[in-house]
Amino acid sequence: MRGRDPTVASVRLLVRPRGDDDHPERLRQGIDRVLGAADELGRPWAVESLFPGATEPELQRHWVVSGAVQAGPAYDVTRVAYDLAAVVARELDADVEPDLPSSAYGVEPREDDAVDIGESLGDTRGVHLPGSDDLTWVVDAVRARAAWALPPPPGGADRGAGVLVGSVDTGYTDHQELAGAWSFDLDHDVLDGDEDARDPLRRRWYMPLDSPGHGTHTASVIGCRGAGALLGVAPRATIVPIRSVKSVVQVLDGDVARAVHEAHRRGCRVITMSLGGRGFFGLRTAIRAALDDGVIVMAAAGNKVGIVVAPASYPECIAVAATNADSEPWPGSSRGPAVDVSAPGESVWVASVDARADPPAFSERRHHGTSFAVATLAGVAALWIAHHSHDRIVARVGRANVHAAFLHLVRSHGHRVPPGWTEHGWEELYGVGIVDAASLLPAPLPDEADLVPTEAPEVADPVSRLSAVLVGLSREEVRVRVAELLGTAPQAVDDLPLAAVSELVYRLGEDDMLRAGLTAPPGDIELPDRPGAAARRLLERTASRALRAAV
């Protein structure tokens, strides 16, 4: 019996027609015309809405096209996917990007892996700072207890009561520390397409990047009730688990976009994402739709990759870096001008899950990562919304400005500046300081006129997208170095097609040497300070025909 051809792989294209003609049947006819009536397995190409049930016209324009293609080691599926994206974009006059897993967030090792505090990203049995021995040190580091003691205005509540926090992660478990914190009426599983977001807690032996239990780890920082050993920042908030990933490292941006939409439509007032990738236009659209409806959206800056990953890198999303018990930056935290604020992320006590045990073992352990920093800020956001009440905030600043009002107050009142923060220049890399709930909650709500709206193009221009992964370069330096990499003129970089820019961002995010060849000062690496022929050879090993043709 003949088995399945191992060189056949699945691809997903994320498509948004540019004109008004975005009817699904016409899109399907266009796909059949461009890609053929059947994929490599003889099946019709699947065309489905990226945001099922969406009522917003802008969300209704986004589609997923999926099927099987021939690929192999000599010309892998990422190159084929970008070739398909380029031809569909050209022939159908559409914005198109492949939905490819990205490893931009940084690996979190298993519990028995690296032990050095500067090297580990997950649980560690190594040396921890003495200030992190107390299981509730994070609650005190952001002065949450003092915030709980503040009397709320009329209609307000304490400890995050009544606030739904959407956790876009690996789903929920039965860990005893989170009893009473989950919503089992509103949860959703994007991966399986059902209403049960239970984390299956499977760590595939051949897939070291799996993150079983990660959603439980981050949720415990937000909302542990305090009945056991752990206490969350907002112990009366309700966590809505939206299962969208098996690994916070290998992220499919289309699934994350769907998860943001599902959290939004289920009434979450805060959406937190302890994950990251390269991002795409549909994820930004989903975040914008949530912001317009009065939702606060935030994401982890990233781990061990040096750049702020998407969606944290988007201007519409609050980017959170990680600090430690000494109020200093965690060495593994991503950093850069895109970071808005920091929160504890090193040696954070969480409701831990060991998926290797049978049955899975629940315990309390210390973990590292910006995953826990953004979870901490999500808890603070829940405290702020509950304290003032969402209705009162909306009445004051307008529904579309709730996110902007929260960020405005975090920057103006709701943070503390530790000793040395300014002297070391950390405000340029790790945000205004460390979030302070007790200073945030009593701050007067701003006037709508005082808020600066987030201005960003619908599709980021090529230089802006490339700048997100080429940290430290000015816009003109990005033009010059990318132009030399591609063998074209600097002004041509501004006119690169979306699919070409998407592939460049993907390749630069995945290949540290390629990225270093464009960003490192002279003498730091073997490549020249400008990429030239050596860096072009690195790119040519992985670039699609479409990218080479674009330049």
Q: Which residues are catalytic?
A: 169, 214, 371
Residue 534 backbone class (left: φ over 0; alpha: ψ -120 to 50; beta: rest): alpha
DSSP letter assigned to residue 235: T
Amino acid at 64: V
Around 311, how many Cα atoms within 13 Å sit in the side-chain half-sphere? 29
SS (H, E, C) 446-472: CCHHHCCCCCCCCCCCHHHHHHHHCCC
Q: Say if residues 338 and 360 touch (Cβ distance below 8 Å).
A: no
Q: Which residues pair with 64 in a beta bridge?
A: 14, 48
In this structure, which long-range contacts are made by residues 447-455, counting pairs with CB atoms below 8 Å and at least 24 apart in sequence? 447/396, 447/397, 448/396, 448/397, 448/398, 448/401, 450/408, 451/397, 451/401, 451/404, 451/405, 451/408, 452/404, 452/408, 453/401, 453/404, 454/291, 454/315, 454/316, 454/404, 455/315
Q: Which residues pair with 341 in a beta bridge?
A: 320
C-alpha torsion angle, residues 473, 497, 301, 15 (rounded to 10): 180
Collect all residues with Cβ–Cβ distance below 8 Å to 267 and sequence separation of at least 6.
164, 186
Would you give the distance in Å from CA 352 to the centre of its chain? 21
Please state, in angstroms and rounded to a whole number, the distance separating the CA atoms of residues 431 and 421: 10
Q: Which residues pair with 123 in a beta bridge?
A: 367
Q: Say if residues 296 and 388 touch (Cβ distance below 8 Å).
A: no
